[in-house]
Amino acid sequence: MPKNDALQKNHLLANLSGEVCQRVCPCLELVSMSLGQVLYESGDTLRYVYFPTDSIITLLYVMEDGTSTEISVVGNEGVVGVALFMGCESTTTRAVVLSTGSAYRLPGRWIKDEFNRHGEMMNLLLRYTQSLIAQTAQTAVCNRYHTIDQQLCRWLLLSLDRLPGNQLIMTQEQIANMLGVRREGVTQAAGKLQKLGVINYNRGHITVLDRPHLEKLCCECYAVVKKETERLLPYLHRVNAETPAGPSGDAHTQLNIANHVVGRTNRSSYGITR
């Protein structure tokens, strides 16, 4: 069973009462999230939900010709697999690990049992789902009306909010695939940000050097999503306000919490985990 300090790494789990934790925690399994790992494909039958700790999961919509675009990202503020507790067994999206780290995995029957108690877990998950819908809707608006430069700024800020440091590992081709734009557009946008001293980009490693400037260059979409998320999940605002701005760290360092899960750590390799 994870200890309370380990559960603090995911803000949804951190806000559960002791009574709910006693029911849920014995079923949680800490799993490793590898870069590029596919948690599920569109149309798959879902078996688990995932509560990221220091990893980021991107949710993609895949077209018939294989092209895809990102519709939302999930990090330590949320959970992946909302379709399971919303009455469905499958989803139209693909879930892929965008940033390595860890996540707590919970079997679908356990999340559904707790959700159907109509208590605090249901309320928390519904509020999170609404925030995810807001992010998805704003992403659609941003992709339609704003420039690639602005979309890149929004994507960087959303990713940074879900990481402990200021570094990301992502190639321009991967970013272009998620934004649904041409790689050349991302190259130009990243080049502009680098010339302004906002980021440093080298061989797939992105370091954000000036976040305040990045926020000024971004469109309104990031602020809209952030405000709505903090309205629905007010504890996130408290966490952000209480967290001091420390020195840059390695955003891809594994958290040392696996030992708190008794005999249940799964070191998954690349591939589909259903």
pLDDT at res. 169: 87
Residue type, 243: T
Task: Please list, residue by residue across 173-206, b when 16 or more beta carbons sit within 10 angstroms of its beta carbon and e when fewer do.
Answer: ebbbbbbbbeeebbbebbeebeeeebbebeeeeb
pLDDT at 223: 96
Residue (of 58, 69, 59, 55) closest to 99 by Cα position? 55
Q: CA 13, CA 38: separation in Å to the nearest integer?
A: 23
Instruction: Return the minimum-mean-pLDDT range out of 7-21, 40-54, 189-203.
Output: 7-21
pLDDT at 146 over 70: yes
pLDDT of the residue at 75: 96
**Structure confidence at residue 68 (pLDDT):** 86
Mean pLDDT of 119-143: 95
According to DSSP, the residues that pair with 95 across neighbouring strands are 40, 59
Q: 125 exposed, middle or buried (CB, 10 Å; 0-12, 13-18, 19+)?
A: buried
d(CA 158, CA 161): 5
pLDDT recorded at residue 265: 35
Q: What are phi and psi of 18, to 5 degrees?
A: -60, -35
pTM of the model: 0.83
* CA–CA gap between residue 16 and residue 120 (Å, rounded): 8
CATH number of 1-144: 2.60.120.10
Query: pLDDT of 50-83, one tens digit each?
Result: 999 999 999 999 888 888 899 999 999 999 999 9
Domain coordinates in residue numbering, the chain: 1-144
Kindly give the residue spans of alpha helices, DSSP state H, lying in the chain.
Answer: 4-7, 11-14, 18-24, 82-85, 108-115, 120-145, 148-160, 172-179, 183-195, 211-217, 221-232, 234-242
Q: For the chain, give me the number of helices (H) and strands (E)?
A: 12, 10
Give the angle subtended at the CA of 235 by the CAs of 90 and 120, to the nearest 5°.
Answer: 55
Q: What is the pLDDT of residues 155-188, one digit of tens each?
A: 999 999 998 889 988 888 889 988 989 999 999 9
Confidence check: pLDDT of 14 > 80: yes
In angstroms, the Cα distances linking 20 to 16, 244, 260 are 6, 30, 18
Q: Are the CB atoms for 250 and 14 separated by under 8 Å?
A: no
Reported as a pLDDT band with limits 50, 70 and 90, residue 5 is low
pLDDT of 31: 96
Give the separation between CA 257 and CA 206, rounded to whole angstroms: 27
187-212 pLDDT per residue, tens: 999 999 999 999 999 988 999 999 99
Say if CB 114 and CB 58 are below 8 A apart. no
Residue 224, pLDDT above cutoff 60: yes
